[in-house]
A and B are shown apart, each in its own frame.
Chain A
Amino acid sequence: MKNIYKIGMTMALSASVLAGCGGSSGTQGADGGSAEKVQLTVWHNWTGQDAKAIAMRQILDDFQASHPNIELEVEGLPTDGLKTRLRTVAAADEMPDLFVMWPDAMTKEFVNGGLLQPIDEFLDSKPEWKNNFIPNALDGYTVDGKIYSVPMNLAPSSFIYYNQAIFDQYGVKVPETWDELKAAIDTFNKNNVIPIALGNKANWVVQSTIFSTIADRVTGTDWLLKAVNQDGAKFTDPQFIEALKVLQDLGNAKAFQDGFNSIDENQMIQLYNQGKAAMFIDGGWALANLVKTAPQEVLDKTHITILPPIEGGKGDPQSTSGVVGTGMGVSKKLEGARKDAAMELLYALSGPEGQKATLDSSTLVSYNIELDEAKAHPLFVELNNLMKETKISPVYDSKLSSAAVEVVNNGLQELLMGGNPETIAQKIQDAQAGAIGK
């Protein structure tokens, strides 16, 4: 009798454990009825306490409050986590209904996987919105002539943030040519100041913030686009090897502090904040971090510029690498009332009001609106004005295949540790050719 009771308990327990496991994966199955409540799952990366994240979460909350018939199931993930998670659910064909995604490579892969639906129809119904984006802003979200999203911000990935006080102290001019940059590096090294702080432990930093701009200056944008498609250009071409050498040359000139491959991006900004470094090179996103963490005396003396031109290069010197920012992707599975609800939310987040909220939170946008200079931080005003006269050139990790990006990132670490440019170029060439099947 006692035994039977025990067996019963065991069965009941195991059944409940198994049921618990099943329940957590069932969130995708929710189907909203047409007349009643509509459910939408939304994934985003606005998890931080920075102004942008707070502003975007506010929009979501307001939207929820004013649309009682739509039930949002919102999930926030840190950026790297979101990227990985999206790829994982993409493999299982279980995309959330509406999610933050990245232009170019990611959008293309999702479209080719049949996971997204175009938003042309909705976009065309609001021409005053569609026509107000800056030139080429929608290119990264356009696949085979169809538009799949619109950018919610603009993410230039390469600026020199410099401390004017340190430049003045050693009588160094803010570099406007490559030679002046090299001279500045020499002077700072002689005076035991780190010329450029760098944190390349997460190995995309050099690629995204420094090399993409250097390479564009040397090879020009057209060459990259050809090399990406392996159409008349290869990564073993002399101009690309030249670009690698320019970067290696910077490393040999001791432009970066010792051990830069073992510290991360935050520790890099730390070195700058402590006044140990005269410059650091990072994307527009670093501004928010800097404004929040830098001591006042450093922040007051901080200014922003772009990498100087490289002599003999084919690229436009008044440009810097970058991508239009993230956009909301719409799952292909949405139909009827749920699709309408998703479009409405997309418009709330990336329509004129969403763009204004983004700009007001000190984040650049790919949309034509004026910045209220009285309210914004002076450094952001400076950045916004700099971007008005600067063009965007492609970032390597947005154009190359994921496999080749990993090879580039590791290759650049190797390059800065004295690796051979030709060998590294060959590896990149093999990876890209392999990934697109040529």
Chain B
Amino acid sequence: MNTLRIRRFVVMGLLPSLLIYALFVFVPVVWSAYYGFFDWKGIGEAKFIGLGNYAEILRDPVFWRALKNNVIFVLASVFGQVPIALVLAIMLNKSNMLQRFLRSAIFMPMVLSAVVIGMIWQYIYHPQIGILNFLLDALGLESWKLQWLSDPNIAIFSLTPPLIWSFVGLYLIIFMSALQNIPGDIHDAAQIDGATGARKLFSVTLPMIWGTIQVALILCISGSLKSFDLVYIMTKGGPAHATELLATYMYNSTFSSYRYGFGSAISTSIVLISLLFIGTSQWLTSRRKNG
């Protein structure tokens, strides 16, 4: 009787958030998958074209370029944000003045809006008055000066430092709280067994927070697959699609070209690709833990 009441209460408690989730996340995803089968300008009649939009996506060089750029973003995040945040978390785990200052400094970009970050970095990279080219000049490295955001070959890579910089703080906080959750007696036990330094790090500390690292990786992958704002502010996906991401391409197709059906098909592809990436990373990390 009592368990039934508790269970009923749990269901009642979850229901509102579940409803909201279904209404604002699940239903739109299904709807947009449905719109993906139509040739629709947003106004007037929608024409059913079956898999036409998806076939066009497969043949569309811009889509593949956007996917490649997204993969670059995912890799930069996974191999940039997570390891840097982990190293910083281990180094800044104590609490003296300097470490407290560094922690706030690293976390600061997290509280800035993407628009501000985009504007700051846009001026850092500015071709005429940018501080980066100015610094290179001052250091006598004129030959290293580049058109950071307008050279199509390097623009996407120029976008990765702001991306990493702006999110390291988030993972730093996550890792630090995980580190602080390791019970003190485990450290004591390790010390008694004579594990110190690197040995303790790899045999005790990292395995203890492995679950958190896994979560961080998933956050990181899904976050960078749907990244949009930074690129939209800094380059709008240009020049000539050079920095197009799946999300900016979806936005541009829907709201600049007014091809709602095609845009919906792209967003459905994003969902599928995200599931694929996250599934793979889950499988990889859990396999490593078991093996």
* Chain A residues packing against B (C-beta within 8 Å): 3, 6-7, 10-11, 13-14, 17-18, 84, 87-88, 90-91, 109-110, 112-115, 200-203, 257-263, 267, 271, 276, 402-403, 405-406, 410-411, 413-414, 417, 419
CB–CB B240/A91 < 8 A? no
Q: In the complex, which of the residues B9, B126, B155 contacts A7, with contact meaning CB atoms closer than 8 Å?
A: B9
Write out the residue numbers on chain A whose beta carbons fall within 8 Å of the beta carbon of B15.
14
Q: In the complex, which of the residues A115, A203, A258, A261 contacts B43, with contact meaning CB atoms closer than 8 Å?
A: A115
CB–CB B258/A403 < 8 A? yes
CB–CB A410/B257 < 8 A? no
With A260-B150, A263-B127, A413-B238 known as contacts, the answer to whether A91 contacts B260 (CB < 8 A) is: yes
Report the bound CA distance from A202 to B20 in whole Å: 36
Closest CB-CB distance, B240 to chain A, in whole Å?
A: 4
Report the bound CA distance from A201 to B42 in whole Å: 26
Q: In the complex, which of the residues B16, B43, B258 contacts A14, with contact meaning CB atoms closer than 8 Å?
A: B16
Q: In the complex, which of the residues B5, B42, B125 contacts A87, with contact meaning CB atoms closer than 8 Å?
A: B42
CB–CB A419/B240 < 8 A? yes
CB–CB B149/A259 < 8 A? yes
CB–CB B147/A262 < 8 A? yes
CB–CB B147/A402 < 8 A? no
* Chain B residues packing against A (C-beta within 8 Å): 5, 9, 12-13, 15-16, 19-20, 41-44, 122, 125-128, 147-150, 152, 155, 235-236, 238-241, 252, 255-260
Nearest A residue to B62 via CB reads A410
4 cross-chain pairs, A with B, having the tightest CB-CB distances, nearest first: A259-B127, A14-B16, A113-B43, A262-B149
Write out the residue numbers on chain B whose beta carbons fall within 8 Å of the beta carbon of A261.
149-150, 238-240
Report the bound CA distance from A413 to B252 in whole Å: 16
Report the bound CA distance from A263 to B239 in whole Å: 11
Q: In the complex, which of the residues B9, B12, B147, B241 contacts A259, with contact meaning CB atoms closer than 8 Å?
A: B147
Nearest B residue to A203 via CB reads B238
CB–CB A17/B20 < 8 A? yes
With A262-B235, A276-B128, A402-B257 known as contacts, the answer to whether A414 contacts B150 (CB < 8 A) is: no
CB–CB B19/A112 < 8 A? no
29 CB contacts below 8 A, A to B, read A3-B9, A6-B9, A17-B16, A18-B16, A87-B258, A88-B255, A90-B42, A109-B43, A109-B258, A112-B43, A201-B235, A201-B236, A203-B238, A257-B127, A259-B147, A259-B148, A262-B127, A262-B235, A263-B126, A271-B128, A403-B257, A405-B256, A406-B252, A413-B239, A413-B240, A414-B239, A414-B240, A417-B152, A417-B239
Write out the residue numbers on chain A whose beta carbons fall within 8 Å of the beta carbon of B235.
201, 262
Nearest A residue to B244 via CB reads A410
Write out the residue numbers on chain A whose beta carbons fall within 8 Å of the beta carbon of B155.
262
Report the bound CA distance from A91 to B41 in whole Å: 8
Write out the residue numbers on chain B whose beta carbons fall within 8 Å of the beta carbon of A267.
126
Report the bound CA distance from A276 to B127 in whole Å: 13
Write out the residue numbers on chain B whose beta carbons fall within 8 Å of the beta carbon of A7.
9, 12
CB–CB A262/B125 < 8 A? yes
With A87-B255, A402-B257 known as contacts, the answer to whether A257 contacts B42 (CB < 8 A) is: no
Q: In the complex, which of the residues B12, B128, B147, B257 contacts A406, with contact meaning CB atoms closer than 8 Å?
A: B257
Write out the residue numbers on chain B whose beta carbons fall within 8 Å of the beta carbon of A262.
122, 125-127, 147-150, 155, 235, 239
Report the bound CA distance from A419 to B16 in whole Å: 54
Report the bound CA distance from A422 to B262 in whole Å: 26
Report the bound CA distance from A3 to B4 in whole Å: 13
Write out the residue numbers on chain B whose beta carbons fall within 8 Å of the beta carbon of A109.
41, 43-44, 258
Additional 12 contacts, C-beta under 8 A, given A115-B43, A262-B126, A262-B235: A11-B16, A109-B41, A114-B44, A203-B239, A261-B239, A262-B125, A262-B127, A262-B147, A402-B41, A403-B257, A405-B257, A406-B257
With A257-B127, A257-B128 known as contacts, the answer to whether A14 contacts B19 (CB < 8 A) is: yes
CB–CB B128/A259 < 8 A? yes
CB–CB B236/A411 < 8 A? no
Closest CB-CB distance, B250 to chain A, in whole Å?
A: 13
CB–CB A203/B236 < 8 A? yes
Closest CB-CB distance, B145 to chain A, in whole Å?
A: 10
Report the bound CA distance from A414 to B5 in whole Å: 66
Write out the residue numbers on chain B whose beta carbons fall within 8 Å of the beta carbon of A17.
16, 20
Closest CB-CB distance, A309 to chain B, in whole Å?
A: 29
Closest CB-CB distance, A75 to chain B, in whole Å?
A: 19
Closest CB-CB distance, A368 to chain B, in whole Å?
A: 34
Nearest A residue to B45 via CB reads A113
Report the bound CA distance from A263 to B258 in whole Å: 25
CB–CB B12/A10 < 8 A? yes
CB–CB B43/A87 < 8 A? yes
CB–CB A259/B150 < 8 A? yes
Report the bound CA distance from A260 to B128 in whole Å: 10
Closest CB-CB distance, B172 to chain A, in whole Å?
A: 30
Report the bound CA distance from A38 to B113 in whole Å: 41
CB–CB A411/B240 < 8 A? yes
Nearest A residue to B15 via CB reads A14
Write out the residue numbers on chain B whose beta carbons fall within 8 Å of the beta carbon of A260.
127, 150
Write out the residue numbers on chain A whose beta carbons fall within 8 Å of the beta carbon of B122.
262
Report the bound CA distance from A263 to B9 in whole Å: 56
Write out the residue numbers on chain A whose beta carbons fall within 8 Å of the beta carbon of B12.
7, 10-11
CB–CB A201/B240 < 8 A? no
Write out the residue numbers on chain B whose beta carbons fall within 8 Å of the beta carbon of A88.
42, 255
Nearest B residue to A7 via CB reads B12
Of residues B44, B126, B256, B260, which shows the largest number of chain A Cβ atoms within 10 Å of its Cβ?
A: B256
Report the bound CA distance from A203 to B236 in whole Å: 8
Nearest B residue to A414 via CB reads B240
Of residues A403, A405, A410, which shows the largest number of chain B Cβ atoms within 10 Å of its Cβ?
A: A410
Report the bound CA distance from A88 to B5 in whole Å: 46
Write out the residue numbers on chain A whose beta carbons fall within 8 Å of the beta carbon of B238.
201, 203, 261, 410, 413
Closest CB-CB distance, B278 to chain A, in whole Å?
A: 29
CB–CB B16/A3 < 8 A? no
Write out the residue numbers on chain B whose beta carbons fall within 8 Å of the beta carbon of A112.
43-44
Write out the residue numbers on chain A whose beta carbons fall within 8 Å of the beta carbon of B258.
87, 109, 402-403
Of residues B12, B152, B239, which shows the largest number of chain A Cβ atoms within 10 Å of its Cβ?
A: B239
Write out the residue numbers on chain B whose beta carbons fall within 8 Å of the beta carbon of A6.
9
CB–CB B150/A91 < 8 A? no
Nearest B residue to A85 via CB reads B255
Report the bound CA distance from A129 to B255 in whole Å: 36
Report the bound CA distance from A179 to B212 in whole Å: 66
Q: In the complex, which of the residues B13, B41, B152 contacts A10, with contact meaning CB atoms closer than 8 Å?
A: B13
Write out the residue numbers on chain B whose beta carbons fall within 8 Å of the beta carbon of A201.
235-236, 238
Report the bound CA distance from A13 to B19 in whole Å: 13
Write out the residue numbers on chain A whose beta carbons fall within 8 Å of the beta carbon of B257.
402-403, 405-406
Write out the residue numbers on chain B whose beta carbons fall within 8 Å of the beta carbon of A14.
15-16, 19
Write out the residue numbers on chain A whose beta carbons fall within 8 Å of the beta carbon of B44.
109, 112-114
